[in-house]
Amino acid sequence: MAMKRVRRVILFGAAGLLLLCLAAAGLSALGNRNLPTGPAVLDHLDPLDKVRLQETLHLKRELGEAVWPGWGQADIPVVLWNKEYSFLVGYPDPPAEWDRVAGDDFDGQPYYRQLAQDPQNFAVLVGERRAASLATKWEMDNFMMTQFREMMPGPLKPVFPYRLLIQPTEVHISGVLHESFHVFQAEIASTHFDDTEKAYRDDERYWSVDAAMHEAWKAEIDLLARAISSKSDDEAAERARAFLAQRDERRQTYGLDAALVDYERRIEWLEGLAKYVELGIWREASATPSYASLPALADDPDFKAYTTYSQRWSQELDQMKRQAALEGDVRFYYTGMAQAVLLDRLMPDWKAHILTETAALEDLLREAVQQPH
């Protein structure tokens, strides 16, 4: 009798779990019917895109100097693009290939468009100036949902909860400011910026060596993660020294020549600093009680008023730890960013030295850990 009761409990439990799964799948399928469909027209900026960009520029003006002196007040144009058009904002007299958007404006000023021609997320040249270029939020969200939909097995395609892939507006805001900082790097340290872009010529050669280094990279990144999580400056300095020693050992063990070492250092300078600014501006907005976002953002369902920064920071640290075995330069976004966070602690004036023509983050960190803390 006892065994029969156990079997009944198991069967009822399994049936209940199946019903819950079916209900969840049904709800997910219904939710997918109400996913955002994107702007109705693509030949001008959507009103919500305008509000998000207004907030982006407002945030940069109000708190940008706290993140990086000089950058907050720098005049940097922005390009937002969708699958059909690129839109140029903050560029009063653009090259002739950019047409004024008739009957529309951005903050009372004209803005311009051209047909999208291999648009990029980076600091792009527009005439003789650079602009911060990024896809619209809808394009970014839709790209992610499309990628997942294509990877899903057939039966799961209609029931996967794609809404979970829609990012907070803060991700887009900070992404535009990431690209904006690239423009600042190019203007302040143009030779270093150009040399860093040239480092990508060693891309294929670097990643052909990298597969053998995954375990060593894992140890290196773990030490770096522990360093930025240290409770005291002395502990942070000690762990930073261990990170640098592990880095030196890895390079020596796997015979990285000067060009491949520079590949790491230069991309950390380029992308690590921009990643640092991307997260730093979000942190400042979250931690500054006096900062008020634009009221119009109250109508944006994806805007969280910067309250999810702590969650984002934890996600970024987790993502950094996963980079050791992943091919691609994203690894250096994180290792560069983490070194910058350490320098905030161990060498408070480091920003005055890093935007020179030869500086690398690890050079300043090596200097910082030699100082008493």
- What domain count does the chain have? 2
* Other Cβ atoms within 10 Å of 228 Cβ, number: 20
Confidence at residue 353, expressed as pLDDT on a 0 to 100 scale: 96
* Residue 142 domain-assigned (yes or no): yes
233 and 340 both lie in a single domain? yes
Is residue 218 domain-shared with residue 358, that is, in the same domain?
yes
Does residue 158 share a domain with residue 75?
Answer: yes
Residue 40 lies inside a defined structural domain of this protein: no
> Which residues, 6 or more positions from 370, have their beta carbon under 8 angstroms from its beta carbon?
none
Please state the rounded mean pLDDT for residues 161-173: 90
Q: Tens digit of pLDDT for each residue in 329-343?
A: 999 999 999 999 999
Same domain membership, residue 334 and residue 243: yes
Distance between CA atoms of 101 and 43, rounded to whole angstroms? 8
What are the pLDDT digits (tens) for 294-339? 999 999 999 999 999 999 999 999 999 999 999 999 999 999 999 9
Indicate the residue among 187, 218, 236 that finishes a domain: 187
Q: Does 153 lie in the same domain as 97?
A: yes
| Interval 346-356: pLDDT, tens | 999 999 999 98
Rounded to whole angstroms, how far apart are CA atoms 138 and 135?
8
Tell me the mean pLDDT in the region 89-118. Answer: 97
Do 229 and 341 reside in the same domain of the chain? yes
323 lies in some domain? yes
Domain assignment of residue 78, given as a range: 47-187
Among 76-90, 148-162, 320-334, the least confident range: 148-162
Q: Which of 131, 152, 187 marks a domain boundary?
A: 187
* 8-state DSSP, 131: E
Q: Do 183 and 194 share a domain, yes or no? A: no
2 located within any domain? no
**Residue 295: inside a domain:** yes
Last residue of a domain, one of 128, 157, 187: 187
Residue 11: pLDDT band by 50, 70, 90 thresholds?
very low
Q: Is residue 33, in this structure, part of any structural domain at all?
A: no
**How, if at all, do strands 112-115 and 85-89 pair?**
antiparallel
Buried b (16+ CB within 10 A) or exposed e, 149-158: eeeeeeeeee
Helix axes 169-188 and 47-67, enclosed angle (nearest 10) = 50
Question: From the CA atom positions of the chain, what is the Rg in Å?
Answer: 24
Mean pLDDT of the chain: 90
Give the type of residue at 10.
I
Q: How far is CA 21 from each of CA 14, 25, 52, 156, rounded to the nearest angstrom?
A: 10, 6, 37, 12
Is residue 287 included in any domain, yes or no? yes
Whether 219 and 349 map to the same domain: the answer is yes
Asked if residue 24 lies in contact with residue 164, where contact means CB atoms within 8 angstroms, the answer is no
Checking if the pLDDT of 137 tops 90, the result is yes
Measured distance CA(197)–CA(208) in Å, rounded: 19
Same domain, 121 and 207: no
Q: Is residue 44 within 8 Å of residue 88, measured between CB atoms?
A: no
pLDDT tens, position by position, 27-63: 444 456 667 778 989 999 999 999 999 999 999 999 9
Q: DSSP letters along 327-346, please?
A: -STHHHHHHHHHHHHHHHHH
Q: What band does 154 get if pLDDT is binned at 50, 70 and 90?
A: confident
Do 165 and 142 belong to one domain? yes
Q: Is pLDDT above 50 for 19?
A: no
pTM for the predicted model, two decimal places? 0.90
Query: Does a structural domain hold residue 78?
Result: yes
Integer angstrom CA distances of residue 142 from 116, 118, 145, 167: 17, 17, 5, 10
Strand partners, 135: 81
Q: Determine the average pLDDT of the residues in 191-207.
A: 93
Question: Tell me, what's the pLDDT at 40?
Answer: 87
Examine the domain organization and report whether 52 and 146 are in the same domain.
yes
> Does residue 169 share a domain with residue 303?
no
